[in-house]
Amino acid sequence: MACLLAASPYTFPLQPHNLDSNSTEKSTEEWLFSSLKSPKTPTQLKTLHAHIIKTNFTQNDLVFGQLLLCCSISNSMHYASRIFAKIHHPKLFFYNAMVKGYSETGAHQEAIQIYSLMRSRSVFCDSFTFPVVLRSISSLGMIGVGEELHGLVMKTGFDARVIVQTALIDMYCACGLPNSARLIFDRIPDRDVICWNTMIAGYIKCGKFSKARELFERSPVKNVSSWNTLVDMYCKCGDIEIARQLFDEMPEKDIISWNAMISGYAKIGECEAARRLFEQMPKRNVVSWNVLITCYVHKRQFSDALELFRMMQVSDVKPNEVTVVSVIPACAHLGALDLGQWIHAYINRNRIKMDVYVNTSLIDMYGKCGSVEEARGVFDNAKVKDTFLCNTMIEVLAMHGRAEEAFGIFMYMRSGGFKPNDVTFIGLLKACSHVGMVDTGVKYFRMMKEEFGLTPKVEHFGCMVDLLGRAGHLQEARELIKNMPMEPTSIVWGALLSACRIHGNVKLAEEVALHLLDLEPQSCGNYVLLSNIYSKAGRFDEAVELRKMMKEKGVKKKPGCSSIEVNHVVNEFFAGDRAHPQCKEIYEQLEKMVKRLKAEGYVPCITSALHDVDMDEKEQTLVHHSEKLAVAFGLLSTDHRTPIRIVKNLRVCDDCHIFMKMVSKYYDRQMVVRDCSRFHHFSDGSCSCSDYW
């Protein structure tokens, strides 16, 4: 066994305090047993193991068994298995320690293997063995092995033990056999509260909610766990009113009770109700925070999610991997790069497992926050890659207009044996669309079916219409829609309408708009886009008429909103916004900027103004667009070497695009702007989109 040990510095005393050389064997045993009660690092485990060998305690069942158990709570079952393999004739206690260790660390298959090894060596199980093995059988759904074990339980007389019978009830319910579980339950003469709770939970697991409620009412003894099980049941099946009624009736509540109720509200999207309950909690744990943060993210209330995360950081509860995975999408949507980078560092510091899901979330976050290099760094460093991860990287490169790099990832997928899917080709077609590579896009569109047997979906046709339309092939795009094998959606027609705006084709725009208004009569975007087309063509009467139609139909225009993160705080601006605490300074800065840029040749692009009003008012409307306010705030609040990163919920208008190019040149600032369709990287008077968007 000495071959398992490695020389390493001791990180704690090898002898208990206050013991001299004449310390008794009993004292050493007590000290070793106590030391092995808490989790240990791999180095500490080896040190203790060495001390056990040195003091000749390898024959002490309690101490050596506790060493094996310590390996399990220290997540070091590999080390435990190496120790166990060196024992010539393991006793039952050692087998039990190994089964328990594997089961509690989720290695259920290994737990079953140890049990099989016991049987092959004719080692008799006891009342400690059966419940643990049955737990692993339940997790694996191995009903055949479970029934065999049930027979052994009856044969050996352990069916009289309530703890074993309760484990059998749980196993049968986990395997979808609640009637078999009920037969066992009904034969137990002295059921304890755990037995009742297990049967109730088993019914719930099998979807027998009425039977669970009936058994709950019959239960002679109920503890807080009994109530929690039922509250959680009603929350999960969406009956929040009954769940709340039971919650209010509970004679006592623990943190699980509160979390179950908050989860219930979160599941149906009632963030405010969940928040009110959260505020009332006498004590919160990491689950409480995670549930509410996730609720805000799912409801797209990203600012609230990040604010709650900041509150969590100053609380006495430490974020875990669930927390960070929930918060990363909020950072992505708001463009909160600084906070996203902090979370990435937090993951590394706390050694949170960087699985495919976490890596994919980070790539998406960095991409949406405008940092392609950091997204690519996560991709390149990912130890495990799959199609999903590659697709995300392609999508990031596509929205930044880096088509050749996106094609490179596709080639990597093919050479690495990753099978492309529908999402892969959506990313590739978007990459082609953003840089006008029509021939390459057509090649990929054909490749889908010809090489990979993938039938194009409506999303792929939408990408092709966008690709052709942006490049000016409007009639080809119209023909493609006409020949689609499925009904075109608003996304497809919307892509063509956007192309009509770019190329000023009013006649086709009117035809396309009729289809869109039929499909989405309450969508403001279609009205606004057609109105812009009319305005750009100088047909202001039609533009004004369209605005009146919107008003009559109760269609409200979605307000433009731009956000910018400064010092870990996301600041949001709306057009003409005066709600910001630094409002006065921002408007003064913007006025100075406009004056300076006009001296350098800036002429406001009044065709971007959405109303038929006098020239001065049009210009004033353009000056106060949300992205211009965000730029002014960025210049006021950040160092001149720091890129200004802005997220816009709508398309950047022509005037703002011209304005930002000039700001990048005459203020010597790099700017990264994400609008609703792509990224714009402004530097030295030019944009990465080459004015093609």
Strand (E) or helix (H) holding 645: strand 644-648
pLDDT reading at 3 higher than 80: no
Q: What is the mean pLDDT of residues 455-473?
A: 94
Quick one: pLDDT at residue 15? 42
pLDDT reading at 650 higher than 70: yes
pLDDT digits (tens, 9 = 90+) for 145-177: 999 989 988 988 888 889 999 999 999 999 999
Q: Give percent above pLDDT 70 in the chain.
A: 94
Quick one: pLDDT at residue 450? 93
Look up tokens 């590999």; give the residue: 78
3-state secondary structure of 184: helix
pLDDT reading at 614 higher than 60: no
pLDDT digits (tens, 9 = 90+) for 45-66: 888 888 888 877 777 777 877 8
Quick one: pLDDT at residue 16? 43
Torsion sign (Cα): 572, 578, 579, 583: positive
Q: Please choose, from the candidates 550, 477, 460, the residue with its C-alpha nearest in 3D space to the C-alpha of residue 511.
A: 477
Over the Cα atoms of the chain, what is R_g? 33
Quick one: pLDDT at residue 590? 94
pLDDT reading at 692 higher than 60: yes
Quick one: pLDDT at residue 25? 58
- Cβ atoms of residues 636 and 652 within 8 Å: no
pLDDT reading at 617 higher than 60: no
Quick one: pLDDT at residue 232? 92
Looking only at the bridges linking them, the beta strands covering 644-648 and 671-674 are parallel
Which band of pLDDT confidence, cut at 50, 70 and 90, is reported for residue 79?
confident
- Cβ atoms of residues 573 and 580 within 8 Å: yes
Q: Higher confidence at residue 79 or residue 630?
A: 630
Q: Which of 196-200, 430-434, 565-569, 688-692 has the lowest mean pLDDT?
A: 688-692
Quick one: pLDDT at residue 39? 78
Q: What is the mean pLDDT of residues 348-369?
A: 89
pLDDT digits (tens, 9 = 90+) for 252-297: 999 999 999 999 999 999 999 999 999 999 999 999 999 999 999 9
Which band of pLDDT confidence, cut at 50, 70 and 90, is reported for residue 615?
low
Q: Which fold has domain 456-553?
A: 1.25.40
- Cβ atoms of residues 419 and 387 within 8 Å: yes
pLDDT reading at 621 higher than 80: no
Which band of pLDDT confidence, cut at 50, 70 and 90, is reported for residue 642?
confident
pLDDT reading at 10 higher than 80: no
pLDDT reading at 8 higher than 70: no
| Comma-separated ranges of CATH 1.25.40.10 domains in the chain | 456-553
Q: How far apart are CA 44 and CA 67, in angstroms?
A: 11
**3-state per-residue secondary structure call for 546-586:** HHHHHHHCCCCCCCCEEEEEECCEEEEEECCCCCCCCHHHH
Which band of pLDDT confidence, cut at 50, 70 and 90, is reported for residue 104?
confident
Q: Which of 137-141, 347-351, 370-374 has the lowest mean pLDDT?
A: 347-351
pLDDT reading at 19 higher than 50: no
Quick one: pLDDT at residue 616? 55
> 218-230: b or e for each residue (b if 16 or more CB lie within 10 Å)?
ebeebeebbbbbb
pLDDT digits (tens, 9 = 90+) for 388-427: 999 999 999 999 999 999 999 999 999 998 999 999 999 9
pLDDT digits (tens, 9 = 90+) for 479-530: 999 999 999 999 999 999 999 988 889 999 999 999 988 888 888 888 888 8
- Cβ atoms of residues 286 and 352 within 8 Å: no
Q: What's the chain's average pLDDT?
A: 87
Quick one: pLDDT at residue 430? 95
Q: Which of 369-373, 381-385, 538-542 has the lowest mean pLDDT?
A: 538-542
Q: Higher confidence at residue 206 or residue 75?
A: 206
pLDDT reading at 619 higher than 80: no
Q: How far apart are CA 629 and CA 320, in angstroms?
A: 37
